Structure 1
Amino acid sequence: MTRILHVLDHSLPLQSGYTFRTRAILKAQEEVLGLDVRAVTGLRHYAPPVPDATDGQGAEVLDGLHLWRTSGDLNGAPGLREWREVRKLADRIEAVAQIWRPDVLHAHSPALCGMAALRAGRRLGIPLVYEIRAFWEDAAVGNGTGSAGSWRYWLTRQLENRVIAGAAAVVTICDGLKADLIARGVAAQRITVMPNGVDLALFGAPLPRDPALAEQLGLGTGPVIGFLGSFYPYEGLDDLIAAMPAIVAAQPDARLLLVGGGPAESALRAQALASPAAAAIRFVGRVPHHEVDRYYAATDVVCYPRKAMRLTDLVTPLKPLEAMAQGKLVAASSVGGHRELIEQGVTGTLFAPDDPAALATAMAGLLGDRAGWDERRRVARAFVERAHDWGCNVRRYHPVYQTVLAMDAVTTTIAA
């Protein structure tokens, strides 16, 4: 049985789009492809160990997944800190490899994970597959923790290019990222697209609306516009709040339900409080992952008003697919990442980004014409089942692993 060791920035029990995609990949590789799968996380995984959840080899066992951790602290001057981080993770990968002999290292961005895996793989003689979920220099710009053109932005990009050059194969999550890599000079045949997906075993059976929860939240009879996710500046939730007065003018009973939290939360709450539509806006805060379905069930339309920038144009998000699987209508800004997932008027509604008036017009039109809602829900759900079910998508990894193992066998034979 082929053994795959995944190298991760962080994992369960932390909850993020990163960890949910990771869980889905590892589970599907085991259950669909029949692979033997383990993972190791770097120093940025900050969750404390789960008591009594070890497998006898030093790995935590969470949700049936075996996860080794890297111990140590993130300290030191910038540059030196990251170099130490890579070294510690590389050492940990090598130690794990002595315990559990993997056939392939499969590192997931950021590039620090890729660099650690590349270093360890060369010492161990194990091929590397590098998977890019986003360009983290662009993510830093979107999160407000970095700036385009800075030395850190340039250095992160160069580090990623180095990992890509050293990897036996490259995987990305969407066509936008693939096109950018090709423009950098990466050969198209080295890149496999592994789209974001949904585990329909988790998101495939939508709950009915809970009247008690709706009453508790003061949602009335609706319609309810929802957003469930992290409150980063690039998500454009300020534009959604700015659009609410015009939406309420067209649909007086409309409510906005915001579930989650993040860096932009305090500014968004202040904006909502000052809005003429303040009475129609509800903040819930973060909720446990196992309760998310209840809040999806309370919404009619889930809205993703992402702002236009490199990050949102290149990267496809996971959340719209989850909403479609939940049988919800989807509305989103027409940035490149959304256009890969949403067909205007077929699987969702698109509107111009960074434009609250355009958002309000699109939303008022959607809320005011319910005749096609059931058909759009059906078509969107079928789209997820056909093109974004992890049980199907994970099969794309099989030829990637076969190719790198064959390449490794040839290299070993020549060296001998």
Structure 2
Amino acid sequence: MKPTELRVALFSGNYNYVRDGANQALNLLVGHLLAQGAAVRIYSPTTATPAFAPIGDLVSVPALALPGERGEYKIGLGLRARTRRDLADFAPNIIHVSAPDMLGHAALTYARRRGIASVASLHTRFETYLRYYGVGFAEPMIERLLKRFYNRADRVLVPSPSIRTLLHQWGVTTGIAIWSRGIDHDRFHPTRRSLDWRRSLGIADDEIALGFLGRLVKEKGLGIFADVTAELRRRGVRHKVLVVGKGPAQSWFAEQAPGAVFAGFQSGDELGRAVASMDIFFNPSVTETFGNVTTEAMAAGVPVVAARATGAVDLIADGVDGYLVAPTDVAGYADAIERIVADSDLMRRLGESGHAKAASYRWDTANQAVLDTYLDLMKNRARCPS
């Protein structure tokens, strides 16, 4: 089969209404598939005020907003009659689901009942979110549900080897392939660093800008981040917390990290400038599957201190291009950051090593791996029809 014979129905819980790493990857994937001649149609909840214009043909599906402080997110209500008619008219030969929600389950059921090839990609460690909202006891149950979900697909795509290992530990027996990630190397580069921009935020040239990048939600490790900065203050380690991003936990985080500078949401070349203007990137999150923000910091020549968890362990060689620390070890994080602050040569070496390693992450290569997975799956099904 050729790429031009593929008809891919992609199901997403959030294709473009809130910007995040997962939907950025999905949009870039669709762009690559379209460029190779494949037909693609996307089914996702939408909003009247999307975060960015979608790549490809986007069909809005019925959805409800999540309750509580995460109301910016929506959950698709399965495959309603109108969506089914549109899907039947499109006549896909591959169904790709990107979230284990009601819509994703319904799409896999649709594929299985009609003998359509199916692929599920994993983007977020949803099971870890529960520990940040007081219901961590339910994590094993969520893992069992996720195991069932991914075992229903014909092939699973994960962004890193550590996530493949995790799924095997859960008992996922479906074939697993790697869909890595890429970087815009023009945007994320050491030359984007701007002392003028730092000064405009009140960060002195001789201050260490300890950076956070991402949505301000508790599951990104904000509590640990605040505890570590408090420990650094107790030790007298001079630094200024630089926060790039926004989200519902911003007010809470501002109280927990007094003196932090909030640069707000940044995009495009302004985002590249913000990342390169950090001195150390600190990522204590354990919810990452790959860590796009980590590779962006590495590409910008910024040394990284991160949780020894999925995603980061695939990217960072401890002591070579950054430091990995046990996820809740506040003193260990502070030791690593203090070590870098105290040694400018070490800071430079770590940054240069990370920049060199990040050069291998290319979107074209990553997305071609997905296309190759589609084609291999179709070839196997043609050879061994069910």
Q: Report the TM-score range of the alignment, normalised by the length of the smaller protein.
A: 0.7 to 0.9
Q: What is the CA RMSD across the aligned residues, in angstroms?
A: 3.2
SS of equivalent to 2:319:
coil
SS of equivalent to 1:105:
strand
Query: Is residue 22 of structure 1 aligned with residue 8 of structure 2?
Result: no
Q: Report how many aligned residue pairs link the two structures.
A: 374
Other-structure match for 1:53: none
Unmatched 5+ stretches in structure 1: 51-60, 77-81
- Contact 2:62 2:76 survives alignment (8 Å): no
The superposition leaves residues 230-252 of structure 1 with CA deviations (integer Å, 9 ceiling, x where unpaired) of 22324333333333355457776
Query: Is residue 42 of structure 1 aligned with residue 44 of structure 2?
Result: yes
Q: Do the aligned partners of residues 361 and 158 (structure 1) sit closer, same or farther apart at CA in structure 2, a change above 3 Å counting?
A: closer
In 2, Cα distance between the equivalents of 1:381 and 1:409? 43
Q: Give 1:14 shift.
A: 2.4
Of the two, which has the highest radius of gyration? 1
Equivalent position amino acid for 2:366 in 1: N
Q: Do the aligned partners of residues 246 and 126 (structure 1) sit closer, same or farther apart at CA in structure 2, a change above 3 Å counting?
A: closer
Other-structure match for 1:286: 265
Unmatched 5+ stretches in structure 2: 68-73
Query: Is residue 305 of structure 1 aligned with residue 284 of structure 2?
Result: yes
In 2, Cα distance between the equivalents of 1:316 and 1:227? 16
In 2, Cα distance between the equivalents of 1:354 and 1:165? 32
The superposition leaves residues 201-242 of structure 1 with CA deviations (integer Å, 9 ceiling, x where unpaired) of 65358523050x322211011221111112232433333333
Q: Give 1:303 shift.
A: 0.8
Equivalent position amino acid for 1:218 in 2: G
The superposition leaves residues 58-85 of structure 1 with CA deviations (integer Å, 9 ceiling, x where unpaired) of xxx9364322211354699xxxxx9981
Q: Give 1:270 shift.
A: 1.6
The superposition leaves residues 171-191 of structure 1 with CA deviations (integer Å, 9 ceiling, x where unpaired) of 122223322332344337x11
- Contact 1:107 1:117 survives alignment (8 Å): yes
Q: Do the aligned partners of residues 98 and 87 (structure 1) sit closer, same or farther apart at CA in structure 2, a change above 3 Å counting?
A: closer
In 2, Cα distance between the equivalents of 1:370 and 1:191? 42
- Contact 1:204 1:325 survives alignment (8 Å): yes
The superposition leaves residues 305-331 of structure 1 with CA deviations (integer Å, 9 ceiling, x where unpaired) of 236xxx46xx33221011112222211
Q: Give 1:11 shift.
A: 1.3
In 1, Cα distance between the equivalents of 2:329 and 2:151? 40
Quick one: percent identity of the two aligned structures?
20
Q: How does 1:3-402 map to 2 (within 5 A)?
A: 3-31=7-35, 34-43=36-45, 45=46, 47-48=47-48, 62=53, 64-71=55-62, 73=64, 85-88=77-80, 91=81, 94-136=84-126, 138-144=127-133, 146-149=135-138, 154=141, 156-187=142-173, 190-200=175-185, 202-203=187-188, 206-211=191-196, 213-221=197-205, 222-244=207-229, 247=232, 253-273=238-258, 278=259, 281-288=260-267, 291-306=270-285, 311=287, 315-386=289-360, 388-402=361-375
TM-score (norm 2): 0.83
SS of equivalent to 2:78:
helix
Q: Do the aligned partners of residues 326 and 113 (structure 1) sit closer, same or farther apart at CA in structure 2, a change above 3 Å counting?
A: farther
Q: Which deviates more, 297-306 or 173-182?
A: 173-182
- Contact 1:256 1:282 survives alignment (8 Å): yes
SS of equivalent to 1:149:
helix
Equivalent position amino acid for 2:129 in 1: A
